[in-house]
Amino acid sequence: MQLQEILYNQGFGTRRVCAGLVQQGWVAVEGDSMSDPATEVAVVEGLQFTVQGTTWEYHEKAYLLLYKPAGTECSQKPSTYPSIYTLLPSPLRLRPNKGAVQGVQAIGRLDQDTTGLLLLTDDGQFIHRMGSPKHHVPKVYDVTTKHPIDASQVDRLLVGVVLDDDPRPVRAAACEATGELQLRLTLTEGKYHQVKRMLAAVGNRVEALHRSRIGGLTLPDDLAPGQWRWLSAEQVDALRTAR
């Protein structure tokens, strides 16, 4: 594949911009400086190249995890708070896509005050697989409540509660009190403000909400709020088969 095409596919701008980056000597591949945009490069996953002093790896599709901080919106066009997409480098936001929206997209959304694990990708099939309720991918939330948790509230969440927009009871796949005001809740479907509405239905209130796990993927302890990293091929494969 031509070098300018690699840069274009990885989100470094239009083909013309990418050609200019190479011609001005700002691109190196595996440590070798390049000057011809048409140079053919053998493309393999993880191929290392440098653009303006920053080292990148080639990924045919981008699969990321992000530690979403509080006070951010999962929207390209936020209404009140900063967008989570401002936490990502521009190549990830500009990767070309067949659809109308460029770059990686969040799989599902977390409320502006909710923190924790968020997945992003430019793989439409993966977004559908992870977001489809029929696949029952478990998501674990750590909840801080306003009032003390009692056994009856846990039991009701496990049996199912009725939300105001759906006559069908919604239940937790797992639920346990981890402290007087702490609850660990596992859901396999996603509805608007679901955790907050479920807690309200049993007479309590969410004071803080944090998503710690999706499928078998746990938010890394060494990742700080606002930081992101690539998912490994093994992690992506495990998520594809998560139930």
Active site residue ranges? 111
Q: Residue 193 in 3-state DSSP?
A: coil
Please name the helix (run of DSSP H) or strand (run of DSSP E) that holds residue 140, with its range, or none: strand 139-145
Question: Is the Cβ–Cβ distance between 41 and 93 less than 8 Å?
Answer: no
Helices and strands, counts by H and E, the chain: 7, 15
Residue 50's region, left for phi above 0, alpha for psi from -120 to 50, else beta, is: beta
H-type alpha helices, 84-171: 90-94, 124-131, 151-159
Closest CA to 6 of 29, 31, 35, 32: 29
Q: What is the Cα–Cα distance from 192 to 195, expressed in whole angstroms?
A: 9
Residue type, 188: T
